[in-house]
Amino acid sequence: MKTTVDIPEEELAEAMRYAKTRTQRDAIVLAIRQCAPGGARADTLEAWPRAHALALGYWERLAGDERVSGEFRGRARECGEIVGRTGMRG
């Protein structure tokens, strides 16, 4: 699939360095694969609500932990918001 996305140049360059990719496409595909949630399998389905609650609690605690930098707390807050939007139910 071809698409056009406005990605800040510095962010993309950093992603390429971090991922050690040679092309922008490879860096973007790798980021998508690493961040996209996997599907729940039938044999693990009942564990997902508990895992969701644990993940949400983790990010919320980290976002409020004064022992880590403000920048990292901000990232943790963002992660918590993403987890919270998944809408898992027990």
What residues of the chain score a pLDDT lower than 50? Answer: 90
Amino acid identity, position 18: Y
Q: Report d(CA 50, CA 60) in Å as an integer.
A: 15
For the chain, the straight-line distance linking the first and the last C-alpha, in angstroms and rounded, comes to 35
Tokens encoding 32: 């998508």
Over the stretch 23-48, which tens digit does the pLDDT of each residue have?
Answer: 999 998 888 877 766 666 778 888 88
Write down the pTM of the prediction.
Answer: 0.52
